[in-house]
Amino acid sequence: MVKTTDITLGTIARDLKKSPSDALVVGVGQGADGPVLLRNPLSAKTAESLSASLSILGITGAADQVHRLPGLPETGAGVLVLAGVGKVADDAPLSEEALRRAAGSAVRQLAGLDSVTLALPTASLADVAAVAEGATLGSYSYTEHRSSKDGLKDPVGKVRIYTEFDGSAVQPVLDRALLVGRAVNATRTLVNQPPSHLYPESFADAAKELAKGLPVKVTVWDEKRLEKEGFGGILGVGKGSSRQPRLVKVEYAPAKATKKIALVGKGITFDTGGISIKPALGMGDMKSDMAGAAVVLNTVLAVAGLGLPAKVTAWLCIAENMPSGAAQRPADVLTVYGGKTVEVLNTDAEGRLVMADGIVAASLEQPDAIIDVATLTGAQLIALGNRTAGVMGSDSLTAALKSAADRAGELVWPMPLPEELRASLDSQVADIANIGERHGGMMTAAVFLREFVGKDNEGKQIPWAHVDIAGPSFNNGSAYGYTPKQGTGCTVRTLLAYVEDVLATA
């Protein structure tokens, strides 16, 4: 069973005492002259007294700072919580992302409580949406394989948002936040699954389970069908494992669709590097090498859940990359779906091989755009760090994804595709080699993928973008904001925002 969000969301507009909760959360910002208590439902006298005490209490308003105080009779809550939102200016409203992070951080750090009221300043419905989304993202936990929950705290189960907006106007906002939270948290859970439990066949089963009740069609290629139809990239990577590969197509095709978008996701359920084996240190993190496939799966399910008028298809390219007597070798040549041949110079550059099959398959349906998402290269971390994804491809599409990511509160940065990198992928024996120029390796990998993007009816390359999430998909550090340790679920919100943006401009 793939865990999704169990939190319930509601609103409260006036008397806090009539709807008591375990904790009331109000915001504190970092002002130019010290901490600033943000707009809140406390009485003027209480707010004035509290403001005067912030510095004495050691409260700065820094992002992620959560300070608990005894509850006040007027709040109807057992605990008063002061949550930092980061830097604020007198003449500038809080950004939606600042609200999202403050809400998520508070809910995450208040685990163990059943109910929380969030009284962060919401000047618009978009602000309410950000607070609600932060709450759903911050309520995540992963305890599936614990034999005992001793010492563990259950996530907050009920959140109410203090707002003056009418309930009928707010409800669609809350519904969307819950759906987004479920999609992101399901992605996190898939990434967090140990490779003993998540492998190609069980991943395909999980996709079918998550799709139940939604108007989507799930098609699974097993190893026999993959071989019959010539998916040589997925088969080549998966041949070293006793757990055979899969290709999963998840299609949402509403009758009145006005746009047609294809999403391709890398689904390496565990990556040893194959014969070109990785060092042991950190190899356990390679359970997350299927994050791209989890992202595109849950994006399609979220689009279907919202009933958006766009045909969106996810292609999950799933294999386990293992060394064995049956594994592919460096210098082998495989034939990707569609006929192009690839010389495998390094079996640890396997993600691009499975993605090539998926991109070709997606191209044959001639969508308006193809977006692939993959934990593709260590070079992405070197270039952009642990929290920022790299996006490459058609200029119009990368710009649109950057805009969508900004709106969603996620970090992406466009990178170029220098033409000189293509020559480094030349092979002496095949159409292309799977590795090339080491420096700028993130971009070289994207140049490789571009070779498999098909053409539209006019003979032009289908608009395409590649998103490398090697760093931001998995958090090895401390939890922060609404982001937990390990699987982060990044990029689901960006892709969903992109689909909404495309439809808004259609």
Whether 208 is catalytic is: no
Structure tokens that stand for 184 in this block: 């992101």
CA dihedral 205, 182, 76, 22 (to 10 degrees): 40
**Do the beta carbons of residue 75 and residue 16 sit within 8 Å?**
yes
Which pLDDT score is estimated for 148?
Answer: 84
Evaluate if residue 4 carries a pLDDT over 80. no
Tell me: is residue 223 an annotated ligand-binding position: no
Q: Can you tell me the distance from the alpha carbon of 78 to that of 70, in angstroms, rounded to the nearest whole number?
A: 7
State percent of the chain over pLDDT 70: 99
Tell me: is residue 348 an annotated ligand-binding position: yes
Q: What is the pLDDT of residues 279-291, one digit of tens each?
A: 999 999 999 999 9
Which pLDDT score is estimated for 461?
Answer: 97
Task: Kindly give, in sequence order, each residue whose CB lies less than 8 Å from that of residue 224, ignoring residues fewer than 6 positions away.
Answer: none
Q: How open is the CA angle 417-503-415, to the nearest 5 degrees?
A: 15
Q: What is the pTM of this model?
A: 0.97
Q: What is the pLDDT of residues 478-488, one digit of tens each?
A: 999 999 999 99
Q: What is the mean pLDDT of residues 195-211?
A: 98
More confidently predicted of 205 and 91: 205
Query: What domains appear along the chain, each with residue ranges and CATH number?
Result: 8-165 (3.40.220.10), 186-504 (3.40.630.10)
Q: What is the pLDDT of residues 463-499, one digit of tens each?
A: 999 999 999 999 999 999 999 999 999 999 999 999 9
**Do the beta carbons of residue 10 and residue 160 sit within 8 Å?**
yes
Q: What is the pLDDT of residues 39-76, one digit of tens each?
A: 999 999 999 999 999 999 999 999 999 999 999 888 98
Tell me: is residue 166 an annotated ligand-binding position: no
Q: Which of 278, 340, 422, 450 is catalytic?
A: 278
Whether 352 is catalytic is: yes
Tell me: is residue 372 an annotated ligand-binding position: no
Evaluate if residue 506 carries a pLDDT over 80. no
Q: What is the pLDDT of residues 206-258, one digit of tens each?
A: 999 999 999 999 999 999 999 999 999 999 999 999 999 999 999 999 999 99
Confidence band, pLDDT 50/70/90 cuts, at residue 18: confident
Q: How open is the CA angle 61-78-42, to the nearest 5 degrees?
A: 55
Tell me: is residue 350 an annotated ligand-binding position: yes
HSE-CB for 228 with a 13 A CA cutoff: 6
Evaluate if residue 1 carries a pLDDT over 70. no
Q: Which of 243, 352, 402, 493 is catalytic?
A: 352
What burial class does residue 364 get, using C-beta atoms within 10 Å of its C-beta: 0-12 exposed, 13-18 middle, 19+ buried?
A: exposed
Q: Can you tell me the distance from the alpha carbon of 292 to that of 374, in angstroms, rounded to the nearest whole number?
A: 4
Confidence band, pLDDT 50/70/90 cuts, at residue 89: confident
Q: What is the mean pLDDT of residues 417-441?
A: 97
Which pLDDT score is estimated for 493?
Answer: 98
Q: What is the mean pLDDT of residues 192-200?
A: 97
